[in-house]
Amino acid sequence: MHYFLLFQISVIGLYTVAKWAIPRLLLLAGDRYYKPALLVTSGWLAYHPEPFYFAMGVCKAAQQNIIRNLHDQMQSRGVHCALAMVNGLVHPDSDATNPTHIADRCWELYNSRGSGKMELEAEIKQVGEERDGEERNGEEVDGEEEDAEWEEDDAERVGEGNGQNF
């Protein structure tokens, strides 16, 4: 994927949606029957950048910046802006990063406003995120050579095949 297109979709797209949605959500915030929210799924590359995914990390950090600012500005006005931070590839067979679990965590995040304070993020990650000794594609992995192979496999799965991020 061309990196500018990635930025346009994930950052400019979020900004455009927020610019359109926030005024409408503010109108709903005045009605006691509604709990307006802008919940965004993003990724942990904002916190834990990987050189191979440099461009994606920059976009995830920008998304986080947008939502953090909106959260700070809108919380007192009754609009919940928050992030569901997904750490891993989304797949139906995954223990934690499957669509159903992600939806459940987003629902919990949405309902966090009942505790008196709107949460900013929900962490969604695989159980046992260790790098050494973990199993990948049915094979035991231990060491940096396998990590490099795994990153290449990841790149092919997400459509980045060349490894150039700048």
Each residue of 98-120: pLDDT tens digit? 999 999 999 999 988 766 678 88
C-beta neighbour count of 74 within 10 angstroms: 22
pLDDT value, residue 128: 56
At residue 80 the predicted structure's pLDDT band, cuts being 50, 70 and 90, is very high
Each residue of 12-60: pLDDT tens digit? 999 999 999 999 999 999 888 899 999 999 988 888 888 888 888 999 9
- Nearest by Cα to 58 from 16, 15, 13, 3: 3
Q: Which tokens belong to 128? A: 């046992």
Q: Is the pTM of this model over 0.75?
A: no
Measured distance CA(120)–CA(81) in Å, rounded: 7
Measured distance CA(71)–CA(80) in Å, rounded: 7
CB 21 within 8 A of CB 63: no
C-beta neighbour count of 18 within 10 angstroms: 18
Measured distance CA(5)–CA(160) in Å, rounded: 13
Helix (H, G, I), strand (E, B) or coil at 129: coil
Candidates 3.40.50.150, 3.40.50.720, 3.40.190.10, 3.30.70.20; CATH matching 3-127+141-151: 3.40.50.720
